[in-house]
């Protein structure tokens, strides 16, 4: 009888121990689950949509630029934009993403741990609720449009072969390092530099490269006529405005309040900038122009990009207003005075607009919008200024050197005869428009 009771006690204790162990295991699993965020369907869906919107911006840019050039060069611009989509995708998957977002090396560059997307799968991105693979794809769309923006600085005069080589090298050697400095854990992010969606990484970077290209290639041959198709340019501007909501609001990486703020500030700044440019034209040139309004709208989109997730709608008004005033002055007065041929004002709008936007982020950012704002506006402005100047110098010098190397290897510029005939026929054996007898 004693043995039976003892056996029952041992069995009861064993059950308690098993239950307790199971509870500990369950608690540990819950804690582990809490430490590693799960994939959120809403955030993932929003970033999938945003990635598509950002990709749409490159064809939008193609129409915008294509409408602004002479009709003999429209296909060359469209072809360059679409080739950028293909070339940069291959470069980004192979090495670009790893250099931008791989393990940090002394704040300067990412490692090669993500080479050919090794280890980049459907698991959650560290600290986020979206798949790592989706983050890579979203960032790819930024990497595509950045070199496409540079086309505006050398449109109508660069060899297509030279464009391909330069774009490939620039995306790896210039874009990826700057992306790492700001977004990938590099030294600028360690300083606390703020760039919500690419004012520094995309626009200042591409704008300075466009200026380098305009200087290296020199002026276009012959007289430069007005845009051959403003309706195409307006279509492109509209596509850019639409796609920019993914560009900016998507950079929150979540369907949350900060994304909503970025969405609203993007629209407000763009509307104010387009209106401001039209009013300036009206005052100084007696008539508001379609070209002026869409150029102002793009300037507003550029300027609000670094600030959209850090400023209020009121701050966005000042960002948009300042972008049009400053960019208008550079395009209308500074460029003719200095004499460089920035064909489609890539530097005047994207470079100058990006510089203003980066600095304005320091002037108008507030922790009431985003907790990432941890410094006073004065301190933040100094950080923004340092990051802006370093990006300007690096991008210009590196781009200038790359252009010179490409020129030495295969030549940058088409012949004078080819330029007069037009790049559509001489580079692609095609014409953008059918000539009727």
| Domains delineated in the chain | 39-428 (1.10.3430.10)
Sign of CA dihedral 108, 112, 116, 118: negative
pTM, two decimals, is: 0.90
Q: What is the pLDDT of residue 226?
A: 85
Q: What is the pLDDT of residue 37?
A: 72
Match 């850090």 to its residue by tokens. Answer: 310
Q: What is the pLDDT of residue 23?
A: 42
Which of the four pLDDT bands, split at 50, 70 and 90, describes residue 36? low
Partnered with residue 413 across adjacent β-strands are 158
Match 């294509």 to its residue by tokens. Answer: 66
Return d(Cα 133, Cα 140) in angstroms, integer: 11
Spell 105-132 as b/e; 16+ CB within 10 A means b. eeeebbeeebbeeeebeeebbeebbbbb
Of all residues in the chain, the percent with pLDDT exceeding 70 is 91
pLDDT per position as a tens digit, 188-246: 999 999 999 999 999 999 999 999 999 999 999 987 778 999 999 999 999 999 999 99
CB 288, CB 282: distance < 8 Å:
yes
Return d(Cα 301, Cα 197) in angstroms, integer: 11
Question: What is the 3-state secondary structure of the chain?
Answer: CHHHHHHHHHHHHHHHHHHHHHHHHHHHHHHHHHHCCCCCHHHHHHHHHHHHHHHHHHHHHHHHHHHHCCHHHHHHHHHHHHHHHHHHHHHHHHHHHHHHHCCEECCCEECCCCHHHCCCCCCECCCCCCEHHHHHHHHHHHHHHHHHHHHHHHCCCECHHHHHHHHHHHHHHHHHHHHHHHHCCCHHHHHCCCCCCCHHHHHHHHHHHHHHHHHHHCCCCCCCCCCCCHHHHHHHHHHHHHHHHHHHHHHHCCCCHHHHHHHHHHHHHHHHHHHHHHHHHHHHHCCCCHHHHHHHHHHHHHHHCCCCCCCCHHHHHHHHHHHHHHHHHHHHHHHHHHCCCCCCCHHHHHHHHHHHHHHHHHHHCCCCCCCCCCCCHHHHHHHHHHHHHHHHHHHHHHHHHHHHHHHHHHCCECCHHHHHHCHHHHHHCCCCCCCCC
CB 432, CB 75: distance < 8 Å:
yes
CB 247, CB 57: distance < 8 Å:
yes
Q: What is the pLDDT of residue 222?
A: 81
CA distance between the termini of the chain: 116
Which of the four pLDDT bands, split at 50, 70 and 90, describes residue 18? very low
The residue-averaged pLDDT of 350-359 equals 98
The residue-averaged pLDDT of 356-360 equals 98
Tokens of 143: 């990497």
Partnered with residue 421 across adjacent β-strands are none
The residue-averaged pLDDT of 139-147 equals 98
Partnered with residue 104 across adjacent β-strands are 110
The residue-averaged pLDDT of 305-312 equals 98
What is the average pLDDT value for the chain, to the nearest integer?
92
Return d(Cα 49, Cα 169) in angstroms, integer: 29
Q: What is the pLDDT of residue 412?
A: 97
Question: What is the 3-state secondary structure of 301-322?
Answer: HHHHCCCCCCCCHHHHHHHHHH
CB 294, CB 234: distance < 8 Å:
yes
Lowest pLDDT segment from 19-28, 85-94, 246-255, 264-273: 19-28
The residue-averaged pLDDT of 313-334 equals 97
């Amino acid at each position: 009888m004693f043995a039976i009771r003892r056996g029952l006690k041992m069995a009861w204790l064993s059950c308690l121990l098993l239950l307790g162990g199971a509870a500990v295991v369950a608690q540990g699993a819950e804690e582990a689950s809490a430490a590693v965020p799960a994939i959120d369907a809403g955030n993932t869906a929003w970033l999938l949509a945003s990635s598509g919107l950002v990709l749409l911006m490159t064809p939008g840019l193609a129409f915008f630029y294509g409408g602004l050039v002479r009709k003999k060069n429209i296909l060359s611009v469209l072809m360059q934009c679409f080739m950028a989509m293909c070339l940069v995708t291959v470069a980004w998957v192979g090495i670009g993403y790893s250099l931008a977002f791989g393990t940090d090396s002394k704040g300067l560059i990412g490692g090669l741990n993500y080479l050919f997307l090794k280890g980049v799968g459907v698991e959650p991105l560290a600290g986020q609720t979206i798949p790592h693979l989706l983050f890579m794809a979203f960032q790819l769309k930024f990497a595509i449009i950045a070199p496409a923006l540079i086309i505006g600085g050398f449109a109508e005069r660069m060899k297509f072969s030279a464009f391909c080589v330069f774009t490939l090298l620039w995306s790896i050697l210039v874009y990826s390092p700057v992306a790492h400095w700001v977004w990938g854990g590099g030294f600028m992010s360690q300083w606390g530099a703020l760039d919500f969606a690419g004012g520094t990484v995309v626009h200042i970077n591409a704008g300075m490269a466009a200026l380098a290209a305009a200087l290296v290639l020199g002026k276009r041959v012959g007289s430069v006529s007005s845009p051959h198709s403003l309706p195409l340019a307006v279509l492109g501007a509209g596509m850019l405005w639409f796609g920019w909501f993914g560009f900016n609001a998507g950079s929150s990486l979540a369907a949350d309040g900060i994304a909503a703020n970025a969405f609203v500030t993007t629209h407000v700044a763009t509307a104010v900038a387009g209106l401001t440019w039209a009013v300036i034209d009206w005052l100084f040139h007696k008539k508001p122009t379609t070209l002026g309004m869409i150029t102002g709208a793009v300037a507003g989109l550029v300027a609000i990009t670094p600030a959209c997730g850090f400023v209020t709608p009121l701050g966005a008004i000042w960002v948009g207003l300042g972008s049009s005033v400053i960019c208008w002055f550079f395009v209308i007065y500074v460029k003719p005075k200095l004499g460089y041929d920035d064909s489609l004002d890539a530097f005047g709008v994207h470079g100058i607009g990006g510089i203003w936007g980066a600095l304005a982020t320091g002037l108008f950012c507030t922790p009431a919008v985003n907790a990432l704002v941890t410094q006073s506006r004065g301190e933040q402005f100094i950080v923004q200024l340092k990051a802006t100047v370093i990006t300007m110098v690096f991008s210009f010098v590196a781009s200038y050197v790359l252009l010179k190397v490409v020129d030495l290897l295969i030549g940058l510029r088409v012949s004078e005869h080819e330029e007069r005939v037009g790049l559509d026929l001489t580079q692609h054996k095609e014409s953008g428009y059918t000539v009727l007898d």
